[in-house]
Structure formats: structure tokens, C-alpha cells
Amino acid sequence: MNKTWIVAQREFSSRVKKKTFLLSTILLPLVIFAFYAFMIYFSVQGNDDLNIAVADNANLFNGKLEAKGDVDFTFVKDKDTASLNRQIEKKAFNGYIFIPASYNVLSADTLSIVYGKTIGVISQERIKSAINKQLEQKRLLALNITQSQLDSAQNRAQIEFQSVTGKGKGDKSKFAEAVGFISGFLIYIVLFIYGTMVMRGVMEEKVNRIAEVIISSVKPFQLMMGKITGIGAVGLVQFLIWIVLGIITMTLIPLLMQGGDPAAAQNIPGGAGAMATASQNTSGLAAVVGGINWALLLPCFLFYFLGGYLLYSSLFAAVGSAVNEDPQDAQSLTLPIIMPIIFGIVIMTKAVNNPYSGLSVFGSLFPLTSPIVMMARIAHGIPDGVTVWELILSMVFLIVGFIGTTWLAGKIYRTGILMYGKKPTWKEMWKWAFRKA
Amino acid sequence: MNILEVQNLKKYYATQKAVDDISFSLAPGSIFGLLGPNGAGKTTLIRMLTGITYPDEGQIVFNGRPFDPVNDILKIGYMPEERGLYKKMKIGDQALYLARLKGLSKLEAMEKVKEWFERFDMQSWWNKKVEDLSKGMSQKLQFVTTVLHEPKLIILDEPFSGLDPVNANLIKDEIFRLAKNGASIIFSTHRMEQVEEICDHIILVNKGQKILDGTVKAVKQQFKENFFRIGFGTATDKLPEANGSYDIIASNNYGVDLILKEGTTPNQVLQLFINEGIQINSFQEKLPSLNDIFIRLVGNTATARQFQNIIA
């Protein structure tokens, strides 16, 4: 059997069988999900509920003030501020608004809110907007303008963005931007995680001094390619698990929402309530999701995932072979490899908005950045984001690119893996790469 | 037919001639000592024999045909001086993996690994990891992984370092057994007493060149200094007149070490002592040890001084 294959099998199974693989595969998305859930929950939740007493002596609100978010209003009959102050001390209310009977709607008199403990900025805004909304109506009435008159005057134009081909309408392009960004970002993460995994694997073999034993049975190039293939397979499996998990959660969440008590769901601020409303718009969402050419995007994602990984992992392998025990050597040597990846992500953030800018076109053709940048363009589809020719050219460049880097890296690797002692300079590595046999 | 013919092998690096025109041959079933001070070019030479690097010039003939690095390395077992195993991998899996890289099928590999584990009484280690093994244990494992694919040529670099006498003997017996079964063994070491004990044939390299080649016996004969030791039966403080036939190196009341001058035979010297009326109970030629020969041959070179420190 081909030795590259035997090496790849070991690299794959030694990683997949580890407990950390299972943990990181399952826990990582959970941790990320939980992290975002917490962030959203707390940003929506804010502080504890605020109860504001309203002493409406001018009868401005007719006992109606809309509760907003964490702010509740309670109408009280108290005529003086002293008794209200006492109620705050007793913590019956968090604050109160005293509206004197003499309050004039049309004059810009100040209303003050007296509070016990400090009220947060967001809650302050909510209180202000609830009161202003009511006051606005009162003022309009005082000026003899009806709400419907005002509404028709304030009506906004419905403006739709449409590309010349007739596709790429409205929400779709926003969604395409998001999809492009996410897939580009995923490839960026993949290059980092699995690239450094290859590098550490090579360093391990060199530090353990098993490299010499192995390459007395296997060509160094076979060893390197076996390692790259095996770890690439680990990455693919991990991705497949995540995709499957993602699909399961996507299908489970709406089911849970419908099954649960709708009233209870509404009580969770922002979270489930918002999702319930979102699910009413499913048809609109489906249209947006369907607007993306998944049949193009998914195979391209796979291609650029593999192409980018092969291109960079061989470079990481070369660096791993050049360093010795000291991990700090690795840091300085990986810098030139990390730079183009960072450039890629920077160009990608521009390319999601503007797929045809000069920088985007360059970034999506240049093999060191194309795996990241091209994803942002492909999400917009052909020809909205990228022309067929550019896509083909970019793929050819990437294939040529990874054959080139693998060839060079293989030569550096072959020499580096048996070199012990001081860290090689870039000049020396350059010599290893280009000298014959 | 020789298993290995090395013909005028050269490997030059930018700064030095690592291997400079070395030739030797190796018969099947022989144990061959490859000796030399640190930096003499032994590792470079071995790496060319194992297909890890290629010679600049010269030829390696393996088993009658020019050396083919892809297929012939399957018939070679190499244990480098710097031992290496995967620390986190189970020992059984590790042995299987290395055997399969040497071209054995899964089934053959399993059979061989079991056979060798049994021979070395290592079956209970199967599920342990290398990091749990002592140095001696991992050394044994390393030896097993080197030889279990039944190589025709086995190259061992300092195979006994770090082994206790019991395990060293175990490995030594295995080396003899493998040689008896027809494997040729190249044995590279600094431990001269082991070379004298194990090797049939030696070469010595220094500064990339071969400076000595022959059987252990022949080399000793070649470098003998007519050094004899006479032991006395009774204490004697009066020695015969040498008359220029020998030099006394050391002496006490019970014996004398002497070097015979050119043209003097041992019998003449004995006659002198007997005529003096000295009771003689032993007379023995002292051949130089390989250690002495080595220090004599490479003692003046820069790398050799390092070498002396190591064997001292």
C-alpha cells in the first residue's frame, strides 16, 4: 500500500481517537453558541425591571403609558412629592415622575424624574421615548393634526436595489454579504487551526527524533504529504460534524419554539420572542436563502477550503521542519506565512461590499489570499460577484500555487527535518528550497 | 556475493568533506564495526546507506544491484543514535505502524510484532504509551521496531547506550542470532570493548576518510608493539641484563612489562630470564586494545581530542 496513505491513516486516527478531538468538536460550537446567547441575553435584558410611579395630576396620559423593555409605569394618585419620596425609600418604586396640574403641553416645560438608585442609560432612553410618544400625540391634538395626517406626511419611499441582470434584489445582497463573510472567515480559521496543527505535528516528530527513523522507511515528501492529508481529513470530518450539528439545531429550535408555551416564550425578552416573530417571516427568509446559489457556493467552499489548506499547510510544515525545540523560533518563522492570511481577511471584508474593486479582483486571483477573498465574491453569485473567467483563473492559480508551495516546502522539509542545532535563517531555507537533490 | 559494496562514496557539504572517497564491502552474516570520532562522517555515511541522503559521487551496490532508495530501504533496518518514538502512541500500534512503513501487510506486521514482543517479554506493554516506559524499555522497543521486518542489512548506532547489563546482553544475543540467520550488521559505536567483543570486521573513519580496514584480529596484529608481560613465581628484584634486546616499560617484584626490540624473539628473552634463575609462571603477548589503536590513529586530530574525552 502507498506509504503516504499509511502515514495519513496514522495522523488521522491518532487525532480522531483522542478525547480532545471529541471534546473540541462538540464543545467548541457549544461554547461559541453559549457565549453569543449570553451576550444577546444580557444586552437585551439590561438591569432588573424598573417600576416608575407616574403622578399624573394634569391627566396628560389618561392612565396610559406603554411599558417598554424593562421599564414599567404605575399611575399613582399622590398629590405631593414628599409621599412619593417616602415610597422610593421603601423601595415601592424605583423612581417617579411628578406632573403638576398646571403642566402645559405646548410649552416646553421640563419634567423631572426622581430616582432612588441610578437608572441605566438604556432605561432612561426608554422612559423618555415612552413619555415623548404620548406627549407628541397630545401636542398634535392641541394643534388639530390627526395621527393619520402626520403618518401620510411622513411616509417613506420604498426604495429597492436591483442589479442590471434582474437578480440580486433587496435583502438578498445583504444576506450574500453575510454568507460571503462567514465562509471567508471560516476558511481563515481553518487555515490557522489546521495549518498550525500540521506545524506542531512536524515539530513533534523532529523534537522526538522519530523523523530520522521514519524517513529511513518513507521519503520525506511522502511523510509530509501523509501528514497534510491526514490532518486535512481530520478538518473535513470536524466540519462535517459541525454542519450536521448545525442542521440539527436549525431544525430543532423552531420545533421547540412551537411546542413550548407561547406566552412563556414571549416573556423571554428578545430571545425566543424575537425568534417566534422571525418564524412568521419564514417565507421571506426562505426566499432570501434560496436567492444564494448554494450549488455554486458549497462546491467552491470545499475547493477553496482544500486548496487553501494544501497551500498553507505545506508552508507550515516547512516551518515546523526548520525549527528546533524552541517554540519561539516557530513564532518568528511563521510570521511571513501569517501575513498573507491576514491580508486575505482584510481584503475579504472589503470584497463582501465591493466584489469588483481592483483589490478584490487581485485578492481573489492571488493564490495566497484567494481562498479567503474569493468566498466573499462567490456568495454574490455569477456574474454579480465574480465572472466565470475570474473564477476559473483563480482556481487554476490556486492549484498551481499549492503545487508550487508543496514542491518548495518539500525541499525545505527534507533538509530541515534532519537539521539540529541553531535556527536556520531565511537565506538558508531559501538555499534548501532551490538546491538540487 | 556481498550484501553491500560501497564504492568511492563522496558527500561534500559547503563547509566540509563529510565523506571523502570511502569504499568497503560487507559480507552476509558479518558484524561490521563502523568506528570513528565524532564528526568523522559516520552519520553522513549511514544516511547515504539508508537512502536518507544521496552521495555526490560513488556508488552503493546493494545485494548485487545498484542501490535503489525506494525499494532497498525496505530491506534495511536502521536505529539512529538519537532514538525517536511517538510519545503519545500506544506501543503496539507504534510497532505495527513502523512495520507497515517497512512494507509489511497489516497481517504480517501483526504476526511479527507479536512474535518479537513475546521474544522480549513485552506483551503486557502493548497498550502502554512510550512516555510511560523507562529509557531501557523504550530502547528495547526501538530495537524491535528496527529488526522486525527481517532486514538483510541492520544498521545500529550505539545500540547499547542507556541499557543495563542484562538488557544489553539480551540485545547482544539477538545481534548474534540475527547475524547467524544471515543478516549483515553495521555497528557504529564509541565503545571499543563492545567492538572487540562483537565485530568481525571494522573500518575506522576520520575526517571523512577511511584510515583503517580489516578484521579485528588483523588490525591488532598490524598494530602490535611486541609488548610482552612476564610474571614471576617468586619475588625477584634482580633482572637480567637487557643488552639492548628489549625496553622495560614497567616492573615490580612479581613481573615485568617489556617491549622487544626489532630482531629479538620472545624465546631469546625468556632464555635471558631463565638463565638469571628467575621463576617464571606466565609469559604473554599483550596486543594493543582497539582503544589504544584508535587513540594512536586519530589522536592528533582536532575531532579526536573530543573522541578521547568521550571514551575516557
CA–CA distance, A287 with A301 (Å, rounded to integer): 22
Same domain, A101 and A183: no
Instruction: Pick B86's closest partner by Cβ from A210, A217, A418.
Output: A210
pLDDT score for A44: 62
B78 touches A: beta carbon within 8 Å: yes
- pLDDT tens readout for residues B194-216: 888 889 899 998 888 888 888 88
The separation between CA A265 and the C-alpha centre of its own chain, rounded to angstroms, equals 26
Q: Which residues pair with B301 in a beta bridge?
A: none
pLDDT score for A176: 80
Count how many domains chain A has. 2
Same domain, A177 and A127: no
List b or e across A392-427, with b for residues whose CB sees 16 or more CB atoms inside 10 angstroms: eebbebbeebbeebbebbbbbbbbbbbbeeeebeee
Q: Between chains, do A211 and B84 touch, taking CB under 8 Å as contact?
A: yes
User: Closest residue of B to A437, CA-based?
Assistant: B54
Q: Which of A98, A118, A149 is the endpoint of a domain?
A: A149
Instruction: Pick B80's closest partner by Cβ from A213, A219, A437.
Output: A213
User: Closest residue of A to B102, CA-based?
Assistant: A217
Cβ–Cβ under 8 Å, residues B36 and B205: yes
Q: Between chains, do B51 and A210 touch, taking CB under 8 Å as contact?
A: no
- Residue A18 inside a domain? The answer is no
User: How many angstroms separate the CA of residue A435 from the nearest CA in chain B?
Assistant: 12
Cβ–Cβ under 8 Å, residues A198 and A12: no
User: How many angstroms separate the CA of residue A227 from the nearest CA in chain B?
Assistant: 14
Same domain, A208 and A66: no
User: Closest residue of B to A209, CA-based?
Assistant: B84
CA–CA distance, A219 with A209 (Å, rounded to integer): 16
Instruction: Pick A217's closest partner by Cβ from B73, B80, B105.
Output: B73
- pLDDT tens readout for residues B16-48: 788 888 999 998 889 999 998 888 888 889 989
Domain extent at residue A347: 171-270+287-434
User: Closest residue of A to B146, CA-based?
Assistant: A213
CA angle (A402, A406, A412) in 5-degree steps:
145
Instruction: Pick A216's closest partner by Cβ from B78, B83, B142.
Output: B78
Using a CB-CB cut-off of 8 Å, the residues of chain B touching A10 are: 97
Question: What would the mean pLDDT of B153-160 be, rounded to a whole number?
Answer: 91
- Answer positive or negative: Cα dihedral of B116, B119, B120, B126: positive
Same domain, A78 and A129: yes
CA–CA distance, B174 with B119 (Å, rounded to integer): 10
Q: Which residue has the higher pLDDT, A161 or B220?
A: B220
Where do we find the cell 437608572?
A: A119
Residue A260, C-beta contacts closer than 8 angstroms, at least 6 positions apart = A272
Task: Decide the pairing of beta strands B209-215 and B184-188.
Answer: unpaired
Within 10 A of A133 (CB to CB), how many other CB atoms are there? 12
Within 10 A of B276 (CB to CB), how many other CB atoms are there? 12
Using a CB-CB cut-off of 8 Å, the residues of chain B touching A209 are: 80, 82-84
User: Closest residue of A to B104, CA-based?
Assistant: A1
CB contacts < 8 A (A, B): 59
* Residue B123 scores a pLDDT above 70: yes
Question: What would the mean pLDDT of B126-144 be, rounded to a whole number?
Answer: 88
User: How many angstroms separate the CA of residue A323 from the nearest CA in chain B?
Assistant: 17
User: Closest residue of A to B47, CA-based?
Assistant: A216
pLDDT score for A264: 44
Nearest to residue B187, comparing CAs of B154, B146, B227? B154
Same domain, A95 and A218: no
- Topology of domain B4-221 in CATH is Rossmann fold (3.40.50)
Helix A358-365 vs helix A327-351: crossing angle, to nearest 10: 130
User: How many angstroms separate the CA of residue B94 from the nearest CA in chain A?
Assistant: 9
* Residue B15 scores a pLDDT above 90: no
User: How many angstroms separate the CA of residue A175 from the nearest CA in chain B?
Assistant: 45
In chain B, positions 237-256, which contact chain A (CB-CB < 8 Å)?
none
What is the DSSP secondary-structure string of A363-397?
HHHSTTTHHHHHHHHHTT-TTTT--HHHHHHHHHH
Q: Which residues pair with B255 in a beta bridge?
A: B231, B252
Stated length of chain B: 312
Percent of chain B's residues with pLDDT above 90: 24
* Residue B144 scores a pLDDT above 70: yes
Residue A408, C-beta contacts closer than 8 angstroms, at least 6 positions apart = A318, A433, A434
Where do we find the cell 531559501?
A: A430
- Answer positive or negative: Cα dihedral of A128, A131, A134, A135: negative
List b or e across A93-107, with b for residues whose CB sees 16 or more CB atoms inside 10 angstroms: bbbbbbbeeebebee
Task: Decide the pairing of beta strands A95-99 and A113-115.
Answer: antiparallel
Query: What does the DSSP 8-state code read for residue B90?
Result: B
Cβ–Cβ under 8 Å, residues A95 and A112: no
The separation between CA A159 and the C-alpha centre of its own chain, rounded to angstroms, equals 28
| pLDDT tens sequence for chain A (437 residues) | 588 999 999 999 988 888 888 888 888 778 877 887 787 777 665 556 778 888 888 777 777 777 777 778 888 876 677 888 888 888 778 888 888 877 777 777 788 888 877 777 777 888 888 888 888 878 888 888 877 777 777 777 666 666 665 544 455 677 788 888 888 888 888 888 899 899 989 988 888 888 888 988 888 889 999 999 999 999 888 888 887 887 787 777 666 655 544 444 444 444 444 444 444 445 555 555 666 777 788 888 889 998 999 999 999 998 888 887 777 777 888 888 899 999 999 999 888 888 888 898 999 999 999 999 998 888 888 777 888 899 999 999 999 999 999 888 888 888 888 877 667 777 777 777 777 54
B79 touches A: beta carbon within 8 Å: yes
Helix or strand (DSSP H, E) at A36: helix A19-45
Q: What is the CATH number of the domain that holds A105?
A: 3.40.190.10
CA–CA distance, A189 with A181 (Å, rounded to integer): 12
B180 touches A: beta carbon within 8 Å: no
B102 touches A: beta carbon within 8 Å: yes
Q: Between chains, do A208 and B100 touch, taking CB under 8 Å as contact?
A: no
- Residue A42 inside a domain? The answer is no
CA–CA distance, A196 with A179 (Å, rounded to integer): 26
pLDDT score for A271: 44
Same domain, A145 and A178: no
Instruction: Pick A218's closest partner by Cβ from B80, B85, B101.
Output: B101
Same domain, A406 and A304: yes
pLDDT score for A401: 92
Instruction: Pick B85's closest partner by Cβ from A14, A210, A418.
Output: A210
Cβ–Cβ under 8 Å, residues A193 and A231: no
CA–CA distance, A351 with A380 (Å, rounded to integer): 10
pTM of the entire predicted model: 0.74
pLDDT score for B147: 92
CA–CA distance, A402 with A139 (Å, rounded to integer): 70
User: Closest residue of A to B72, CA-based?
Assistant: A217
CA–CA distance, B53 with B30 (Å, rounded to integer): 25
Using a CB-CB cut-off of 8 Å, the residues of chain A touching B159 are: none
Residue A293, C-beta contacts closer than 8 angstroms, at least 6 positions apart = A381, A382
Instruction: Pick A210's closest partner by Cβ from B50, B51, B84.
Output: B84
Q: What is the ipTM of this complex?
A: 0.80
B78 falls in which pLDDT band (50, 70, 90)?
A: very high
Residue A367, C-beta contacts closer than 8 angstroms, at least 6 positions apart = A307, A311, A397, A398, A400, A401, A402
- Answer positive or negative: Cα dihedral of A118, A122, A128, A134: negative
Instruction: Pick B54's closest partner by Cβ from A6, A7, A437.
Output: A437
- Answer positive or negative: Cα dihedral of A317, A322, A326, A332: negative
Question: What would the mean pLDDT of B162-175 be, rounded to a whole number?
Answer: 89
Interface of chain A toward chain B, CB-CB under 8 angstroms: 1, 3, 6-7, 10, 14, 204-205, 208-219, 418, 437
Cβ–Cβ under 8 Å, residues A383 and A167: no
Same domain, A64 and A186: no
Using a CB-CB cut-off of 8 Å, the residues of chain A touching B131 are: none
pLDDT score for A308: 92
Using a CB-CB cut-off of 8 Å, the residues of chain B touching A6 are: 97, 100-101
- Residue A3 inside a domain? The answer is no
Same domain, A185 and A135: no
pLDDT score for B97: 93
B155 falls in which pLDDT band (50, 70, 90)?
A: very high
Q: Between chains, do B145 and A213 touch, taking CB under 8 Å as contact?
A: yes
Q: Between chains, do B86 and A208 touch, taking CB under 8 Å as contact?
A: yes
CA angle (B257, B260, B264) in 5-degree steps:
140
Instruction: Pick A217's closest partner by Cβ from B47, B101, B105.
Output: B101
Using a CB-CB cut-off of 8 Å, the residues of chain A touching B51 are: 216
Q: Between chains, do A10 and B97 touch, taking CB under 8 Å as contact?
A: yes
- Residue A39 inside a domain? The answer is no
What's the whole-number average pLDDT of chain B?
A: 86
* Residue B191 scores a pLDDT above 90: no
User: How many angstroms separate the CA of residue B197 from the nearest CA in chain A?
Assistant: 27
pLDDT score for A70: 73
- pLDDT tens readout for residues B245-289: 888 888 888 888 988 888 888 888 888 888 888 888 899 988 888
**Which residue ranges make up each domain of chain B?**
4-221, 225-285
Same domain, A366 and A219: yes
